[in-house]
């Protein structure tokens, strides 16, 4: 088993604070899903965190749990469940004014819609994500969203638009690399 997974599981066992325990469960669930490692177990941890968050009326953790569940369901190909959870995460992020979570949610909805073949919806959500990441000053994630839009246009068969958006992504990435080398 991965060392980080084991470490997080040990921390969860020892943690007394329900909110800190929920945060650790989300860290574990997020890490596991990012590795595609035992998605059913990652789902159980996210649901456990969601339950704790609801019991403790913590909308921040509820929002992040819904977002992680959306990612897990997306990876499992359960698109309707993924959309439902991600929509909830976005609504919560708007209420608590967490633009980063909102941007993640729209980016995820874009990926889900692209896989469903709903390419105009995919582009719409990626564009919303770009606007939010721009507000946050996160150009690396703006570049990732431009790349996703390029992929959607590629899937639509609009190679000119695909190239345009991939070029936008590349230009940002080059600027980031250039700024790191100074």
Structural domains in the chain? 1-97 (1.25.40.10), 106-182 (1.25.40.10)
- In this prediction, residue 181 carries a pLDDT of 84
The percent of residues in the chain predicted with pLDDT above 90, rounded, is 94
Q: What is the pLDDT of residues 123-166, one digit of tens each?
A: 999 999 999 999 999 999 999 999 999 999 999 999 999 999 99
Nearest to 143 by CA among 115, 176, 100, 102: 176
The pLDDT score that the predictor gives to residue 182 is 72
Contact 141, 108 (CB under 8 A): no
pLDDT at 1 over 70: no
Whether the CB-CB separation of 125 and 148 falls below 8 Å is answered with no
The answer to whether 29 touches 43, Cβ cutoff 8 Å, is yes
Supply the DSSP string of 40-97, one letter for each residue. HHHHHHHHHHHHHHHHTT-HHHHHHHHHHHHHHHHHTT-HHHHHHHHHHHHHHHHHTT
Contacting residues for 180 by C-beta, under 8 A, at least 6 apart:
none
Predicted pLDDT at 79: 96
Q: Quick one: which of 56, 46, 124, 32 has its CA closest to 82?
A: 46
Q: Is 153 helix (H, G, I), strand (E, B) or coil?
A: helix
φ/ψ bin of 137: left (φ > 0), alpha (ψ from -120 to 50), beta (otherwise) = left
pLDDT at residue 63, rounded to an integer:
96
């Amino acid at each position: 088993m991965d060392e980080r997974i084991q470490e997080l599981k040990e921390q969860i066992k020892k943690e007394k604070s329900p909110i800190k325990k929920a945060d650790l469960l989300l860290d574990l669930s997020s890490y596991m899903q990012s590795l595609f490692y035992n998605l059913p177990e990652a789902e159980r941890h996210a649901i456990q965190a969601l339950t704790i968050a609801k019991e403790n009326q913590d909308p921040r953790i509820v929002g992040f749990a819904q977002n992680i569940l959306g990612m897990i369901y997306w990876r499992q190909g359960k698109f309707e469940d993924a959309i439902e959870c991600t929509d909830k995460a976005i609504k919560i992020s708007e209420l608590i004014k967490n633009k980063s979570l909102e941007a993640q949610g729209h980016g995820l909805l874009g990926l889900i819609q692209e896989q469903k073949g709903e390419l105009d919806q995919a582009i719409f959500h990626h564009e919303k994500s770009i606007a939010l990441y721009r507000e946050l000053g996160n150009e690396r994630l703006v570049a990732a969203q431009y790349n996703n839009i390029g992929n959607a246009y590629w899937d639509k068969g609009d190679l000119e638009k695909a190239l345009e958006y991939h070029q936008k992504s590349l230009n940002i990435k080059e600027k980031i690399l250039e700024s790191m080398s100074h």
